[in-house]
Structure 1
Amino acid sequence: MDIHRARFVRYPPSAINALAFSYSNKREFTGKGTRYVRLAVGRANGNIEIWDPANGAWVHEITLSGGKDRSVEGLAWIQEPDEEDENGYHTDGRLRLFSIGYSSTVTEWNLVTGLPLRHSSGNHSEVWSLAAQPKYRTNTKSREGDFRGQNLVAGCADGTLALLSTADDDLRFQKFLTRPTARKSRVLSVVWQNRDVVVAGFADSAIRVFDTRNGALLRNISLGAPSLGGPREILVWTVKCLPNGNIVAGDSTGEIRFYDGKNYSQTQRISAHEADVLDIAVSQDGETIFSGGMDKRTVAYNLSRGHHGHRRWAKIAHRRYHDHDVKTMATYETKQMSVMVSGGLDTHPIIVPIREFDTEHSRTLPALPQSPPVTSAPRARLLVSWWDREVRIWRVKKRDGSNETPKLVARLALKGEDNVNSASISEDGSLLAVSTASGVKVFQLSSRKSENERGLRVRKLGTPPLAEGTGARLVQLSPNGKWLAMVTHESEICLARLVDEEDGRWKLVPRVVELHRLHKKHEHQNALNGYWGSYDRIITRIALSDDVLVASDIGGYIESWVVEGNEDVTAPEVDWPETEATGNASSDDEDDEDEDESRPVVFYGQHWIRNPAGHLLPKLDSSALVLSFRPTDNAESQANGNPAVHPTRSNPHAHSHKLPSGDRRLLVVTAQHQIYEFDVLQGRLTDWSRRNPSSGFPSEFRGIRDRAMGCLWDHDERRQRLWLYGSNWVFMFDLTADLCKRPAGEVADGVTDGTAETPMKKRKRGPDEDPLRQSASGAGSKMPARELEGAGRKYRKITGADASSWVSVDKARSSSVTAADGEAEDDAEEEEQQQEENSTTTAALALLRRGASDSNVDEADDAQTGPQKRTHWHTFKYRPILGLVAISHPDDRRAEKGGKADAPARPLEVVLVERPSWDLDLPPKFVGVHER
């Protein structure tokens, strides 16, 4: 494989301004609530990413797209009160998400559609802070008729505190807690101390406490005079409340201040930052807090017992996980997980363990989109990238010894305020489809006739006739460019037909057909699925070939449709039998859906139906991250239209019922990194997938933490290779061989051949089986004993003149000599395994440094036969990866052999787009006293 390592594709960074968990600890949910925990990540470009912790897997599910001049500055989750019917059946309340950003509006988002649901704006200025009321508890004292939901409080730039009501599934202004004064000091932070008291941090060196029941000011806490030579006012950037009611605040002086929750007197102050403290995170038990600020530090504090039995806060450690300002933090703790998530201007979410802060590493989540915003047209060697409201097209030249750089041949700036959700281009580069939240646009691309002009001519074909103002979450063009699949925000699948006319112009047929999905009944209503919509039924991935369409949703269901009939260019463009007018039309309303399915829309003699074997495809263990059809060489010859089909008096709209034949093998990679290959037309696993379960894949692949983003195929007469990639890794699998190794003497059908078995060797643990690589809290891997900070975990115990032994004091190990010896043995095995991995990686990279391309490696592998042939390969050299796309087509590579049947085809050419963090255009960062 020949790699074009590209950094010319621009993708502007987007800082993380807000983080919020739907639940922060186990006390906030009951039953199966852990399944519905989600992390919302608000970015400066207006996008909100929804992540599923998935017990430490951290899967990105959907993105709520923003738009022009939009920014997310605050996030808040609430949950509707639980319901219980007369039979005692318990129903979980609905989860609702709210955001603010540089405006006087608070926005509620529809998680099912990914669009804004409602807005609330009042007679106040820009909203700077937002907080949700604590959940109602049955053991708390309350009066009859008290509201049991969760209201919101918003702090504004003019000093206003506004209380917003969320009752009756609505969002509306309720009352002001405080009105703007003459100074109009900004409300920089706000938090609820309990369901009736609000604590707010202002920009005038003060913290104020209000009673929401009557709007009374309970206490005005002054932070004192600022330091000499400093600013006139102290900015209270963050204020949080501990479980016992005490208050902790961080300000622009770099200090953390603690206040008693009853008399509001200051009890302690710690100076731990060199610059402003921007946010604070509190653990579930209230005995550990974290602070982050402009000096890039993440500082941990612990509540320890001091002199005379008094408990005092003490700084225990500080580390620099981020390369820029740390703007926001959020915590989530249960029995299985205990993590703190932080984000800032460096665009990376960082996962930090709480309970295992001293014994586990942190983990960095990808900052780039998990759905690659790049695609390609292999036959035309075009590369397409998009971000915000802009689409750029590049032409990549062939490697013929010249150093010609890729050329920007087209640039599209879309009208409107909505960001681009998805884009797709046909294999020959003649068609381009772009979708936003407000519409779908289709363009025809053609070369300019003038030799001096190297760009592309862009002609807009129009917009598919969807509902007015309806956009699409996903768009996908078929390889031949004749079909355009669109997934709306309601997760409805629509198909449009494109026609290549004789003069070389494409035309969009002015009608779309909707493919009906199967109804999946939920076992019970939960926090994400109910009468308002089904979150699990959101379509996140689609795959479209010339005659088969496959879609998958968050719940793990796979649905498929196929084309019925042959293309007949002499048939009508659209043949759709109209319903006959009847006197009692209203009686047939309930049967409209059935009638639509019985009266298909036929385009040139072809129409789409549900795959007859689609119901045989199983439900996946988790949502699908990658869907891709394996290329096939068994292209069937198409009949000349439908010569045997003629309309009759009884059947005026006759059409062919011929279904596709041959292999339609679909590769699926799930969020748990389970890899399956299905024969879609047969509704079963392929033989290769049956012989190679995911448990038998290489341990290097099973130990990867970052999830897969996409794949591409290297398919020709000599090899069939699958290339999977994530944000910092690339893996190759040879599908002509079995990845699962069998003991000697065992063949594929499970019958031994009678040969002697080889002696069993000591099996080395893989990365996923090594206890040092296993995560106990949902963050990074465990630290080896030699990397632990502070005092050693072992001490020497002397009981006699010559008797001495090492005794382990680690909490996870017993205080015996056997445990210490086992630890040393594990460390030795880990070092040996690490040396072997380093030697393998060094050899592979050395081959690349000498100038040998991946095609040379491929030829060397092809020359090997038998058990020595390489079945997989991986590298961590490229990071972070924005996307990996093919830039050459197998047919074009075969044509370059010069007519010689035995001549090897040219290697597959791909473009690997990298966006390293040091190449991001970030604002200036804070430089400390001890920094250069």
Structure 2
Amino acid sequence: MEVHRARFVDFIPSAINALAFAPNTARPVMACGRANGDIEVWNPKNEWTLEKVIPGGKNTSVEALAWAHQTTLTEEDDFWDSEKEKQAAIKKLVKTPPRLFSAGLNAVVTEWDLTTLKPKRAVDSHGGAVWCMAVNHANTILAVGCEDGCVRLFDIADGELAFIRSFDKQKTRILSLAWSQDDSIMITGSANSSIYKWTVELGRVVSRMTVDRVSGEDTLVWSVKFLANGNIVSGDSLGHVKFWDGATTTMIQSFNSHGADVLCLAAGRDGNTVFSSGVDRKCNQYRLVDQPAPKKTGKNGKNGTINGKTEMVTKWVLAGSRRFHSHDVRALALDESRSVDALVSGGVDVSMVVCPAAQFPDINQRRLPYVPQRPIVSLSKSKRLVMCRQEHGVKVWRLGKSASPVQPFSELEIGAHMDLIEPQQAILEMNFKTDRNLTASALSEDGHWIAVADIEEVKLFRVDESESHPGQLTVKKQKSFPGVRGTGAHYLTFSPDSARLVVASTDSHVVVVDIAQWEMGTFDILRKFGQHRGAGGKQAESMDVDGDDEDIVGGEGQIETIVAMAVSADGQWLATGDLRNRIFVFNLDTLQHHATLPTFDAPLTGLQFHPYSPTLVIPTASNVFYLFNVESRRLTDWSREYSSDKNFPTKFLGLKDKIQGIAFNPARRNTLLVWGANYLCHVDLDQGVGDRNAILNVGKRKRVDRAQDEIRKQQRERRMKKYAALGILPMPELEAGGKAVVVLEGKKGRKVLTTTTNHVGEKEEEFNFQLLHKFQPLMFVDFVGDNSLVVVELPFIKILSSLPPSYYRASYGT
């Protein structure tokens, strides 16, 4: 097989600035804010699944994130007519999804709509850049620390976002803040070597704590936390982690355990565990433990004891340390609940690292893939074009061509290099003058159309070769293209004949646009489907899985973000899926809703049609994929028998990285290639899944087979030596069922025996799923022709080359 390893694609992920878990009263979910303004929403279930990405924009770096989930009523008891009405209101409040707030250097505090991924509300901070943000424990007030040295409070109760008031102004910027357990006290870390203790009711400083200074320079207090017992912990730019008495504001203990700035802290719910990290990349754990008190000798010469027992005191100790990252760690997030149990860290090296908090530092960490979990690469197979979406533009390359091999591919060694007779070529780069990051892009199969979208609009461009300058391309924006009535898109795709554009809009409509009449300036909207808004799902027949004709429909009125879309190779079928796991199939010939698939336990991670049959492949986050025949409205026979976590190979189900896509080789029509960030897996649909415990890794399997062959060879040699010692002549090699004559030499003469053997060697494992880890990490995989595979990789060394130097302190003797 010919493999195009496309490492030339320009894409560098952005640094992580903030991490935040939603309150425990809501479902487990975590937000990750990046330096380019993007906010990723991750679900810890199913080995951490990325649900959605809220797009950022220019000058919208996320410096702080906060979740709010109000569970108590703000009205007085006499407001309610009955206790039943009050309890119904509380129940409704608890079921309301949590709210997400972000802020950064653009001086704007934003609440996000987690369905449309657009700003829901936005208010000015009135104090310049926002460096920190926190919600009180009642989830009714949002506090932000600003550049002008002022803490400002915003009312977020009952869905509001309104300015309340400001605290007394300080002559330095506020870098960190935290609320006490009863929400009556607040502490702030500043850029003037001070930690201030405030009374929230009056907005005034009641006490001040001062950290160490060096050479008269101010120390920056990057992070502060309130512990459950009322004490305070701080991390500063000298690398010190200090513990303070919350009542007297006196220092209890100090640790000089970091070589540089401590940028982030995370505290356990019980207040007995604290984590710290920063510029030196170390992640330290501190525990509150009981220790014998220091020995004190009284006037009578006896050690201080109580009733003959040694006096015990509680102290903080450095319990463990690990180094997970290659560059500065800017954010930590901790969730100790049994369903999550995770300490998450992130920073300049763009990767999130997850490790079990309860077993820190003994258990190994897991690094989540830094490559995009949603596709940003498009492919034109007929024109051999690859397009990659960037924050504010797209870039297109033409694939190179290799010299024909002198021998068949099957006879070449795996990984053999093939000489290029025509290298890849960057043929087009488009940058858009927009303040918002792009959310979707698509390249048509004929290579003449490029569509891009952000959360506000969809743009369409025609690409043709210049008549006056052959070899040069001309790009013309279709100004008459109406878009989707002023809304943006989360997903775009073209039909295979390049005559239609399908848009998954930000308001969860699926819109089919005719672009065949573009020369006349006509772009008709052929149909707009509203199934993902809960509308129209009951009018059509649903997909039948188990042989029943039960009508399975999406929830009425439940709008959700569309995250996957696919068009069949013949252009007849369109499939779309959202974050509620609702999958709808539409007939593009009749422009009617055709079927509704059943929902799965695990979130879907993509959709892909088989190019030679009306079969839809649906991969899920549990690494089980399903095959549906959309014409017969039922699972295929193969999927009915094998698509289950009880049947799939355990090694495949155990892969941490999710299935990100499916590819089909035209030369082997009944096989598929499943791929994730760090693996390729070949599956033959003419076979079963094989032995569930088989070794799937191709390289490892070859090593095991060679080792087993060597063991069998040694055992045979030992048997031959034993037979020779007994006077048994070597037996000729037999085929199964063959006969041989054995001559035994003894004292009484020769004895001739005839024997039959059915020896066929050890039984071999049956296996189908063949894993390959040669190419990684993967951004995109697809075939452009028979046995011709395109693999888009993003090596970590490429990211490292774009990052600033990491912290280094020379030690003695180096």
TM-score tier, shorter chain, comes to: 0.7 to 0.9
Quote the residue 2:107 is aligned against. 104
Partner of 1:204 in structure 2? 192
Q: CA–CA distance in 1 between the matches of 2:425 and 2:767?
A: 36
User: Shift in Å at residue 214 of structure 1?
Assistant: 1.3
Which residue number in structure 1 is paired with residue 37 of structure 2?
46
Q: Residue 442 in 1 paired to residue 460 in 2?
A: yes
Higher relative contact order (CA 8 A, sep 6+): 1
**Residue of 273, 278, 286 corresponding to 2:271:** 286
Q: C-alpha distance in 1, partners of 2:43/2:218? A: 40
Over residues 783-842 of structure 1, what are the superposed CA-to-partner deviations in whole Å (9 max), with x where a residue is unaligned? xxxxxxxxxxxxxxxxxxxxxxxxxxxxxxxxxxxxxxxxxxxxxxxxxx9995582699
> What RMSD over aligned residues (CA atoms) do the two structures have, in Å?
2.7
Q: 2:607 aligns with which of 613, 616, 627?
A: 627
**TM-score normalised per structure 2:** 0.80
Match of 2:157 in 1: 167
Flag the 1:87–1:680 CA change in 2: closer, same or farther, 3 A: farther
Q: Give the equivalent residue in structure 2 for 1:430.
A: 448
The 5 Å alignment of 1:100-179 reads: 100-135=103-138, 149-179=139-169
Does the C-alpha gap of structure 1 residues 473 and 508 become closer, same or farther in structure 2, counting only changes over 3 Å?
farther
Q: Name the counterpart of 1:417.
A: 435
1:544 corresponds in structure 2 to 567
Q: Distance in 2 between matches of 1:241 and 1:507?
A: 62
1:517 counterpart letter in structure 2: Q
More divergent stretch after superposition (409-418 vs 385-394): 409-418
Q: 1:911 maps to what in 2?
A: 791
Structure 2 CA distance for aligned equivalents of residues 543 and 458 of structure 1: 26
Change (3 A) 1:291 1:621: same
| Corresponding letter in the other structure for 1:319 | R
Q: CA deviation at 1:447?
A: 2.8
Change (3 A) 1:840 1:880: farther
Residue 558 of structure 1 is aligned with which of 580, 583, 588?
A: 583
**Amino acid corresponding to residue 71 of structure 2 in structure 1:** P
Partners of 2:534 and 2:558 within 8 A in 1: no
Q: What CA deviation, in whole Å up to 9, does each residue of 1:56-76 have, x standing for no partner?
A: 510001000011222111100
Q: Give 1:719 shift.
A: 4.2
One of 766, 769, 776 as aligned partner of 1:879: 776
Q: Which residue number corresponds to residue 63 of structure 1?
A: 53
**Alignment counterpart, residue 733 of structure 1, candidates 647, 658, 683:** 683
Deviation per residue, 1:589-638 (Å, 9 max, x gap): xxxxxxxxxxxxxxxxxx41110xx14x2122232102000011xxxxxx
How far apart, CA to CA, are the structure 2 residues paired with 1:77 and 1:512?
A: 40
**Distance in 2 between the 1:73 and 1:914 partners?**
26
> 1:498, 1:507 within 8 Å by CA — same for their partners in 2?
no
SS at match of 1:237: strand
Partner in structure 2 of residue 251 of structure 1 = 236
3-state SS of 2:446 partner: coil
2:591 pairs, out of 604, 608, 613, with: 608
- How do 1:197-596 residues align onto structure 2 when only pairs under 5 Å count? 197-224=185-212, 226-228=213-215, 232-308=217-293, 309-400=312-403, 401-449=419-467, 454-462=471-479, 464-466=481-483, 468-499=485-516, 508-517=522-531, 520=534, 534=558, 537-545=560-568, 546-564=571-589
Conserved? CA contact 1:464–1:511, under 8 Å: no
Measured after TM superposition, the shift of residue 429 of structure 1 is 1.4
Structure 1 residue 681 corresponds to structure 2 residue 631 = yes
Structure 1: segments with no counterpart, 5+ residues:
136-148, 522-530, 565-606, 633-662, 742-762, 768-832, 844-865, 890-905
* Worse-superposed segment, 922-931 or 36-45: 922-931
The Cα of 1:82 is off from its aligned counterpart by: 4.7
CA contact (8 A) 2:198 2:205 kept: yes
Cα shift at 1:428: 2.1
Q: Structure 1 residues 431 and 867 mapped into 2: Cα distance closer, same or farther (>3 Å)?
A: farther
- Displacement of 1:909 after TM fit? 3.0
Query: What residue number does 1:722 align with?
Result: 672
Distance 1:467 1:381 in 2: 30
Match of 1:191 among 178, 188, 191: 178
Mean alpha-carbon deviation: is it higher for 204-213 or for 123-132?
123-132
Indicate conservation of the 8 Å contact 2:533/2:558, yes or no: no
Deviation >4 Å, runs of 4+: 82-85, 505-508, 518-521, 531-535, 763-767, 833-838, 840-843, 866-870
Alignment TM-score, normalising by the size of structure 1: 0.70
Local SS of the residue matching 1:312: strand
Indicate yes or no: 2:809 matched with 1:928.
yes
| Pairs within 5 Å for 1:746-785 | none
CA contact (8 A) 2:263 2:329 kept: yes
- Please point out which of 617, 620, 643 is paired with 1:670: 620
Question: How many angstroms does 1:474 deviate by?
Answer: 0.8
Aligned residues of 2:778 and 2:791 also touching (Cα < 8 A): no
**8 Å contact kept, 1:298–1:321:** yes
CA distance in structure 2 between the partners assigned to 1:689 and 1:520 by the alignment: 28
In the alignment, the residues of structure 2 paired with residue 352 and residue 394 of structure 1 have an alpha-carbon distance, to the nearest angstrom, of: 39
SS at match of 2:652: helix
Distance 1:124 1:712, change over 3 A: same
Counterparts of 1:179 and 1:512, CA distance in 2: 58
Is the Cα–Cα contact under 8 Å of residues 517 and 559 in structure 1 kept in the other structure?
Answer: yes
In structure 2, how many angstroms separate the alpha carbons of the residues matched to 1:297 and 1:2? Answer: 43
Larger relative strand fraction: 2
Which residue type is aligned with residue 240 of structure 1? K
Q: Which residue of 2 aligns with 1:86?
A: 85
TM-aligned CA deviation for residue 715 of structure 1? 2.7
Structure 2 residue aligned with 1:839: 703
Measure the CA separation in 1 of the matches of 2:376 and 2:507.
Answer: 22
1:467, CA displacement in angstroms?
5.1
Instruction: Quote the residue 1:15 is aligned against.
Output: 15
Change (3 A) 1:840 1:470: farther
| Matched letter for residue 579 of structure 2 | I
Q: Distance in 2 between matches of 1:764 and 1:559?
A: 35
CA–CA distance in structure 2, aligned partners of residues 457 and 911 of structure 1: 28
* Compared CA separation, residues 79 and 360, structure 1 to 2 (3 A): same
**2:715 aligned residue:** none
Percent identity, please.
Answer: 31
CA distance in 2, matches of 1:674, 1:356: 29
**Mapped contact 1:555–1:622 kept (Cα < 8 A):** no
Unaligned runs of 5+ in 2: 74-82, 294-311, 404-418, 536-554, 708-762
